[in-house]
Amino acid sequence: MPELPEVETVVRLIRPRLVGRTIAGARVHWTRTLGGVSPARFTRAVTGARVTRVWRRAKYAVLDLEREAAPAGFLVGHLRMTGRFHVEPPGYDPGPHLRVSLPLDDGRTFHFIDVRKFGRLWFTTRLETLLGRLGPEPLDDDFTADWLLAALRAKRRQLKPLLLDQTFLAGLGNIYVDEALHRSGLHPLRPSQRVDAAHARRLHAAIRETLTAAIAREGSSFDVFYRTPEGQPGQYQDEFRVYARAGQPCLACGTPVERLIVGQRGTHVCPTCQPPPRKRRAITRP
DNA sequence: ATCCTATCCTGGCTGC
DNA sequence: TGCAGCCAGGATAGGA
């Protein structure tokens, strides 16, 4: 599923095809993709606007729009599970799952394609309403090991659901949480307040290393859904240590990888490298 | 504060 | 071969 590395890959590839382009119109094939904005208002808002910048925050792609050299709002996309962005020349067949098309002034068209219709393409003038609650960006300088240790201790939640919570830390999804927890030797069920300083440091490093390595390989494509805007699969799935490897030997110790459900999510863990938390008996005062 | 469940969707898979 | 039923999964809302 598209997580931070996949969105970063997509943004890098569509950026040169979008920056400087003027949007010539809009065709909306599935209204709910717009996240509550009516097709008429959406079309009015984007038509004639010029894209000045394409960037990423967490799993969101953002296009800054300008009209007559003045800010004109933002197009914000979230691919969720099956969304894809393509910028294609005339004659390209976007297939049956096309949700929104934005023809550009150079003859190409920006397509938002999404099989499961969970993805969104919002127009907004206030970015804060969409991005304001997000936690720190894991590859930015303000995400430090010290911050992570303090933040983990301030919560009393299982590690996996906490790391999936975008208001805690922004950009991780099911794949990279499992991979980062394995790299740091932490079990997904461990309570966050019981992570010691050394493990917090390992987790901080593991999150950054996992994301950086995945970006270098253009993300992960273990199913038919995620492809780069040029139609290529990513390559990081070849380096998964636990994700989608249930029953196969842990690459570090040989123990079969287990699959369990944590917070309603399929979760992959090496029970040797990631010892499960011991149940604490209730503390009874004499 | 944290946890749990339902919701949104479709294609792919399982089992009969 | 056909079909019903189940499942995954990011984010969020509402209830416990």
pLDDT in tens, A50-109: 999 999 999 999 999 999 999 999 999 999 988 999 999 999 999 899 999 999 999 999
Is any atom of strand C within 7 angstroms of residue A184's beta carbon? no
Query: What pLDDT does residue A222 have?
Result: 66
A194 CB below 7 A from strand B atoms: no
Token pair of A200 as six digits: 């917090």
Q: Which nucleotides of C are covered by protein (CB under 7 A)?
A: 8-12
User: Which residues of A are known to be catalytic?
Assistant: 2-3, 59, 265
Bases along strand B below 7 A from a protein CB: 1-6, 8-12
pTM score of the predicted model: 0.93
Question: Hey, CA dihedral for A52, A54, A55, A56, is it positive or negative?
Answer: positive
pLDDT band at A219 (very low <50, low <70, confident <90, very high): confident
Pick the closest to residue A6 from A161, A223, A188, A186 (CA basis).
Answer: A223
Say yes or no: Cβ of A223 under 7 A from any atom of strand B.
no
Number of residues in chain A: 286
Give all strands of the β-sheet with A70-78 in edge-to-edge order: A50-57, A60-67, A70-78, A120-124
A29 touches strand B (CB under 7 A): no
Question: What is the band of A284 on the pLDDT scale with cuts at 50, 70, 90?
Answer: very low
Of the candidates A10, A29, A21, which has an alpha carbon nearest to the alpha carbon of residue A46? A21
Residues 94-133 of A with CB under 7 A from strand C: 116, 118, 133
What pLDDT does A87 receive?
A: 93
Cβ neighbours of A143 (radius 10 Å): 19
